[in-house]
Structures are given as C-alpha cells and as structure tokens.
Amino acid sequence: MFSIARVSGCGVAAMALTFTAAAVSAQEGTAQTTSEMGSLENASPTRNELSEQLDSVTGQLQAMTEPFEAVQSDVKKLKGLKLSGYVQARYEMNQSSKGGVSSKDGVAADTKNQFLIRRGRLKATYTGTPWSEVVLQIDATGRGVVLRDAEVSLLEPLTPFGFKFTLGQTKLPFGFEIPQSSSDREMPERSLMVRQFFPGERDRGIKVAGSFGVVRLALGLFNGNGIEDTGTKFVYREAVDTNADGEIKEGTKTSASLNFGNTDRDHWKDFGGRLGVDLGMITGGLSLYQGTWGYLPAEQVVLVEDADGVKTYEGTNDLTALAKTRLGADVQLYLGLIPALGGTGLRAEVIQGHGIYSGSTQSDKDARGWSATLVQSIGTKLAVAARVDQFDPDLDSEATEDTTMALEPALLLYPTEAVKLTLAYQIVNDFLDKNDDDTRIDKANNQLTLQLQGKF
C-alpha cells in the first residue's frame, strides 16, 4: 500500500517543478518581447528621414497635378471656342434662263435654272477671356472659299454702356437688314436697295457699339469700297513719244480690270453709324453713311517713256473724289394680331443717298429705295411672309422705267430646330427689255426659289 504521506510529497514536488518551469518560461518570454521592442525602436525612422519622405510624396503629387492643371486650362479654352454655321442649298428657276454662254461677260450667266449652294458659312467665335472676342467666318460654295468676317473685339465691362470695339472686316452699322444674318431672314436675298447701296454688306475698318437702357449706338470708320469692288475696268496706253508741244502721243491700248476686293482704292475713309431704340415690341433707328469714292477714269496713261528711252510707271493718283452719302430709317413691330395663330412681325426700311458705286457701276446720281416685310407665324412649325421693295437709281430722271419693283411672297416650314425650308416667288418689274420700236418693257425674269437651310 502506498503511504498517503508519500503521495502528498510527490504531488508537492510536481507542483513545485511546474511553477518553476512556468516562471522560467515567463522570464524567457519577457526577455524576448523586450528584445523585439528594442529592435522596433532601433528600426523607427528619424525626423529628418520622415521629412525627406514627406517631401518626396509631395513632389510626386505635384507632378501628378501638373498634367491635370494643363488639361483644365485646355478645357477652359475649348469652352470659350464656339463653332457655328449654316448651309443654304437651293434650286432656282428664272424666266430669263437660257442655255449657252453670255456674250456680255464671257461666263455661263444666262443659265439660271439650276441647283446651287448659295451659302456655306462656317463661323468660329472665341470668348475665352472676359475682355476680348475673336470672330472668323468663311463662306464655302461652288464659287470657292471667301472671307466674310474677321473681327478682333475688345469688350469694356466696367461701364453701363458695355462698349465693344471691333477692328477688322465686319458688317457695316447701318439699318436693320445689313446686320441681320442671312440665316434669320425670311427671304432668300436682301432687298434691292441694300444690294445696290451696300453690295456685300461689309467693309474693313473699326467700329464701336454700345447701349444704355433702350438706346443702341453703333458707328465706325471704313475704307469705303466694301469687299466686292473687284471689277473696275479701264484702258491704259503706253506713251511712245511726245510731239513738239510736249504732249504724249497715243500708244498701244490695253484693257485691264482692277481688283480692290482686299485693298482700299483710295486714301479717303468713310463714316457710318446707327442710333436706335429697343422697346421690346417696337424697335427702330436712324442711320447715316458719309464717304468718298475714288473714281478711276476709263482711260489712263500708265507708262511714260523719257528722252533716254526709259519707261516709268505714272500711276493712277488722279482719282476723282465723288460724294457717297446714305440716310436711312428702319422700324420693326412685333405684334400678336392673331393670337390663335402666332406672332406677327412688320418691318419697314428706307434709304436715300447719292452715288451707286461698285466695281462695275459708277453712277454719280441721287437714288432711293424702300422695303416692307410682313411675317405671320402659324403655330411653331409654319410661317408665311411677303415683301415689297422698290429701288430708283436716278431721282432726277422723270422716266418711270428706271425704277425696279419686286413683290415676293414666301412660305416657311421649320421641321426641326436646325432646319428651315423656304419656298419664295419673286415678281420683278424692271423694264430691262425693249420691243421692236425700242420702247422699254418689263423683262420676264421672275424667279422661283426653293431653299433648304441647315444650321448648327
């Protein structure tokens, strides 16, 4: 039999060994933990090392933001650039159309029943800065690509007038029809008087525009010959000798045609401006244009030979200054005469002036023209319009045959916001034909125009 005392002694001894082993293990664990903490403390970066790491991260972030800032700048510039334009494709059918080539100017001008691109405008407008605006507009058609508008403007936002100073090739500040866009006009073309007094509607120069309340003011200084002065024809001759009195003997004659479409034909400058009011339903204004036209004689001696046989260019400095004046008045009414149908618009304009000048026409006479247009909307997709206009190129003449009058009704359809369909028929009374006894009679030249316009 085992003794209880022996068993108890063995248990005590075992317990003592167990506690001793646990204590030793605890001491070893404590020593290991202390050692690891010391290692971590030795591995921690210093303050300088942390600063260097922070600078490195900051540099990397800056390097990442620089391309983003550049992209933001590019996006801002693109937001300031606006592209717009329109295309006017049409079919014209004229009573005077003939096959073949015109004997007058050597081109197939007698063929007037045709499809054509009347206007193909592309316009870029940049307003990326609050103080400036840049506009460039071209016209691309079957006749080629030509410059229509090239403007650089400074905007003045500090005063209530909102002045805009523009330098370049721009529309003249005169009347209502000239500043109006061809894409907004109901009729295919501008009135007779505008096409005679202001061919091309534009010129190169400087102008300023501003407003105060209901008052509108625009005025400018321009070259004066517009952008379509391209066909001034004259004859020059080469002087081959002089007679006893020193007069130049007539030499060989040669025909020539001068193009002043991109340059000023003389050193005189023209003034133009309009003072108007905008009362909402009623707008209108008075316009003035005053200038000088440098008339080039039909025959010019341009080469002179001296006694030694040396030929020099004499030039064309003997231009004759012809007065060019225009006075105009315009009014526009926007009414609701038939509310069930839509809005009603009534516009009228008159211009009287002296001198009708272009490359092919130099008429030093008083002239007058007027036009009246009525537009009635029918809902939001349809409208009807009619225009009557008249032009008299010589007010001093008592001959009524000089006056041209046109009546033009039109139907307009707007299938979408970007598309406009126009069907117009112009009835012209111009007395350009003659009968067998040379009596002037009306020429059969009425014209039907079907035009589809797309705008963007």
Residue 93 lies in a domain: yes
Question: Taking 50 as the threshold, does the pLDDT of residue 5 lie above it?
Answer: no
Would you state the pLDDT for residue 86? 98
Angle in degrees, CA 26, 29, 34, rounded to 5? 125
Would you state the pLDDT for residue 79? 83
Residue 10 lies in a domain: no
- Higher pLDDT among residues 202 and 20, named by residue: 202
Name the token pair of 398.
């008592």
pLDDT in tens, 139-172: 999 999 999 999 999 999 889 999 999 999 999 9
Would you state the pLDDT for residue 211? 97
As for how many domains the chain has, the answer is: 1
Please identify which residue in the block is written with the tokens 């800065």.
129
Q: How far is CA 417 from CA 129, 309, 380, 420, 456, in A?
A: 30, 70, 10, 8, 9
Would you state the pLDDT for residue 48? 79
Q: Please report which confidence band the pLDDT of residue 43 belongs to, taking 50, 70 and 90 as the band edges.
A: low
* Structural domain boundaries enclosing 329: 65-455
Name the token pair of 24.
């030793």
Q: Please report which confidence band the pLDDT of residue 19 belongs to, taking 50, 70 and 90 as the band edges.
A: very low
- Higher pLDDT among residues 12 and 84, named by residue: 84
* CATH number (domain holding residue 451): 2.40.160.10
Distance (Å, whole) CA 361 – CA 354 = 13
Residue 4 lies in a domain: no
Residue 97 lies in a domain: yes
Number of Cβ atoms within 10 Å of the Cβ of 215: 13
Question: Taking 60 as the threshold, does the pLDDT of residue 362 lie above it?
Answer: yes
Half-sphere exposure of 18 (CA within 13 A, CB side): 6
Strand partners for 87: 120, 454
Q: How far is CA 339 from CA 150, 282, 381, 417, in A?
A: 42, 18, 15, 22
Residue 193 lies in a domain: yes
Q: Give the mean model confidence (pLDDT) for residues 67-75.
A: 69
Residue 134 lies in a domain: yes
Residue 25 lies in a domain: no
Q: Give the mean model confidence (pLDDT) for residues 57-85.
A: 77
Would you state the pLDDT for residue 267? 87
